[in-house]
Amino acid sequence: MQSSVTRIRQDLAVDIDALTRLILNTQRASGEIPWCEGQKTDPWDHVESAMGLTIGGHYDAARRAYTWMRQTQLDDGSWYASYMDGKPEDRTRDANLSTYIAVGLYHYYLVTGDIAFVASLWPTVRDAMDFALALQMPEGPIRWAISPDGRVDAMALLTGSSSVYMSLKCALKLADLLGHAQPHWTPALIMLQTALRQKRHLFNMTKSRFSMDWFYPILTGAVTGEEARKRIDTYWKKFVEEGQGVRCVYDEPWVTVAETCELVLALAAMGNDDLARIVFSWISTKRFDDDTYWCGFTFPNMVIWPEDKITWTNAVVLMAIDALYHLTPASQMFSHVAWDAHGPA
Q: What single string gives the DSSP state of each residue in 155-224? A: -B-HHHHHHHHHHHHHHHHHHHHHT---TTHHHHHHHHHHHHHH-GGGS-GGGGGBHHHHHHHHHTTSS-
**Is 345 contained in some domain?**
no
Q: Which pLDDT band, with edges at 50, 70 and 90, does 11 fall under? A: very low
Taking the C-alpha atoms of residue 105 and residue 119, their distance in angstroms, rounded to an integer, is 10
**Is 290 contained in some domain?**
yes
Using CA atoms, how far residue 3 sits from 13, 120, 205, 229, in Å, is: 11, 32, 45, 36
Kindly report, residue by residue over 43-95, the tens digit of the pLDDT.
Answer: 999 999 999 999 999 999 999 999 999 999 999 999 999 999 999 999 999 99
- 182 burial type by CB count under 10 A (0-12 exposed, 13-18 middle, 19+ buried): middle
Are 262 and 219 spatial neighbours (Cβ–Cβ below 8 Å)? yes
| Sign of the alpha-carbon torsion through 324, 330, 335, 337 | positive
**Is 119 contained in some domain?**
yes
Average pLDDT, the chain: 95
**Is 261 contained in some domain?**
yes
Question: CATH number for the domain including 9?
Answer: 1.50.10.10
**Is 57 contained in some domain?**
yes
pLDDT of residue 9: 43
Mean pLDDT, range 120-142, rounded to an integer? 98
Q: Which pLDDT band, with edges at 50, 70 and 90, does 12 fall under? A: low
**DSSP label of 289:** T
Phi, psi of 19 (to 5 degrees): -70, -45
Q: Which pLDDT band, with edges at 50, 70 and 90, does 202 fall under? A: very high
**Is 306 contained in some domain?**
yes
Q: At what angle do helices 115-133 and 185-198 cross, to 10 degrees?
A: 60
| Count of the separate structural domains present in the chain | 1
**Is 250 contained in some domain?**
yes
Half-sphere exposure (Cβ direction) of 265: Cα atoms closer than 13 Å: 26
Provide the whole-model pTM. Answer: 0.96
Taking the C-alpha atoms of residue 52 and residue 107, their distance in angstroms, rounded to an integer, is 10
- The whole domain housing 269 covers 5-340
Are 128 and 101 spatial neighbours (Cβ–Cβ below 8 Å)? yes
Taking the C-alpha atoms of residue 266 and residue 246, their distance in angstroms, rounded to an integer, is 13
Which residue, 96, 9, 56, is CA-closest to 330? Answer: 56
**Is 278 contained in some domain?**
yes
